[in-house]
Amino acid sequence: MITGKGRCNFTNLKDWESFSSHIRSKASLVRPAFFNFPSAKAIEFFENQGIPTVVERGDRAFPASHMASDIVDGLVKAATSLGVRIMSGVQVGKVAYDSGDRVFNIQAGERTFSCRCLIIATGGLSYPSTGSSGDGYSFASSFGHSISPLFPSLTAIVPRGYKVQRASGGELRGHIDRSVPLSAAGKQLMGISLKNTGLTLFLDGREVQSVTGDLDFTDGGLEGPLGFQVSRECVKGIVNGRKAGISIDMKPAVGRDELLDRLRRLWAEIKADPRSRGINLDRMFRILLGKVLPHGLIDGFLGWNPGLGKGADLEGLARRLKDWHMDIEGFVGYERAVVTAGGIPPEEVVAKTLESKKQKGLYLCGEVLDVDADTGGYNLQCAFSTGFLAGQCAAQSVICR
């Protein structure tokens, strides 16, 4: 219901070679599931439920209505039409395997359910307000599975000074809750969206990732496609005690020398303009900024680059436009992270069936696995593909027993 800002970008139509490049963990685990249930089949599935789809920029597929509720309704309709009983408001407390009767027993409140095959499809820790508690990791651990370190991904990264409170030293090093208020400097940037921007991530002073696209300043920090793309490596680095920083390139299509020449020409035009008579240097510099930056960004840009306008330092301006550096203090945690990175390692699961190598009859799929991807429909398609394969193989296993 909340994915794609309520529009539900439910899959991406790229072929496997391009699709797999957006999976940030071991794509080999997803490969058999993807070919068994590719993106085209996901679209076919929903269209068979009476939900037409549209494909937008970047091969992203949405319901034609742009309403996530249609996808949810389609899934519920497909399940209930086959006799599936959906029980909500029931918390699973314990899962165990009875080797004598060869069944799994699931304790839920005062009731116990038994089954010959069990699929853990509980998702991760992200958005706990939706019910995500991470119980699936505990259930898997009880059957002997190890859990790769967990951390939030596709989340806001927070520049130093953007919030009024510093990063916590709690369970996750660098966590800054999204509810923490913005500082005055953060308020100057909040709500600004930048198009065709370059963003480079540094860890301990070394460049580790460089991307180009759109960047959003939000109440959480740096988000949008670029913020999300670098967030995985940034969060992982901070959690492991590394120093993170980013550089924003406001003009990635031009070199610094070319940009400086352009600034000098614009500055000469402003000085020669009769309307500039009687205007002080600071005001003229703001006029120059208005020609190279979005108007709403000027105050914030000057606030984060103090002293830049003094003396109309065009060389300094060119440097900052090409390399606006910010130290990254922390990140927004699971409360608003789109996905959870880490989970059950691929080597503990049979990729062709998604059956556990630790417990026969146990199947694992979706975010509980150590599988996470970029934003753009990739994570939901991974969930659909692995869920379909796990269900298919579990059903075949029951029939063959």
- Collapsing DSSP states into helix, strand and coil, what is residue 138? helix
Dihedral class, residue 285 (left if φ above 0, else alpha if ψ from -120 to 50, else beta): alpha
Boundary (domain end) residue, out of 223, 250, 277: 250
SS (H, E, C) 340-371: EEEEECHHHEECCCCEECCCCCEEECHHHECC
The reply to whether 196 falls in a domain is yes
Which pLDDT band, with edges at 50, 70 and 90, does 383 fall under? very high
Q: How confident is the model at residue 382 (pLDDT cuts 50, 70, 90)?
A: very high
pLDDT given for residue 309 in this prediction: 66
Tokens 């709690």 found at: 170
Bridging pattern class, strands 157-159 and 111-115: unpaired
Same domain for 134 and 24: yes
Position 307 scores a pLDDT of 78
pLDDT band at residue 306 under the 50/70/90 scheme: confident
Secondary structure E strands in 298-354 = 324-331, 339-343, 349-350
* In-domain check, residue 240: yes
CATH number reported for the structural domain that contains residue 169 in this entry: 2.40.30
pLDDT in tens, 117-150: 999 999 999 999 888 899 999 999 999 999 999 9
Domain match, 60 and 145 both: yes
Do 37 and 113 fall into the same domain? Answer: yes
Looking at the chain, the number of H-run helices and the number of E-run strands are: 12, 18
Instruction: Measure the CA–CA gap between 313 and 318, rounded to whole angstroms.
Output: 9
Give per-residue pLDDT as tens, 317-330: 999 999 999 999 99
Give buried/exposed letters for 47-61 (b at 16+ CB in 10 A, else e).
Answer: eebebebeeeeebbb
Please answer whether residues 328 and 235 qualify as being in contact, where contact means their C-beta atoms are separated by less than 8 angstroms: no
Q: Is residue 190 within 8 Å of residue 218, measured between CB atoms?
A: yes
3 state SS for 205-239: CEEEEEEEEEEEECCCCEEHHHHHHHHHHHHHHHH
Whether residue 302 has pLDDT greater than 80: yes
Residues 14, 74 within the same domain: yes
Of 250, 274, 293, the last residue of a domain is 250
To the nearest whole percent, how much of the chain has pLDDT over 90?
Answer: 88
Q: Is 335 inside a domain boundary?
A: no
Q: Does residue 276 have a pLDDT over 90?
A: no
Are 177 and 309 within one domain?
no
For residue 328, the model assigns a pLDDT of 98
Residue 100: give its domain's CATH number.
3.50.50.60
| Residues in CB range of 288: below 8 A, 6 or more apart | 263, 266, 267, 270, 312, 317
pTM across the whole model: 0.92
Residue 314 belongs to a domain: yes
Domain total for the chain?
3
Q: Is residue 336 part of a domain?
A: no
* CA 74 to centroid of chain Cα atoms: 24
Residues 146 and 187 in one domain: no
Residue 327 forms part of a structural domain: no
Report whether pLDDT(73) > 90.
yes
Residue among 362, 363, 345, 366 at smallest CA distance from 354: 363
In this structure, the answer to whether residues 59 and 196 fall within a common structural domain is no
Contacts of 116 (CB under 8 A, 6+ apart): 102, 103, 104, 361, 397, 398, 401
Shared domain for 191 and 134, answered yes or no, is no
Mean pLDDT of 221-237: 96
Residues 228 and 316 in one domain: no
Instruction: Decide if pLDDT at 55 tops 70.
Output: yes
Question: Does one domain contain both 113 and 189?
Answer: no
- Among the candidates 229, 250, 271, a domain finishes at 250
* 117 and 174 inside one domain: no
Give the structural domain span for 390: 3-151+341-400
Does 13 lie in the same domain as 92? yes
- Report if residue 332 sits inside a domain: no
Phi, psi angles (nearest 5°) of residue 361: 90, -5
- Residue 138: what pLDDT? 96
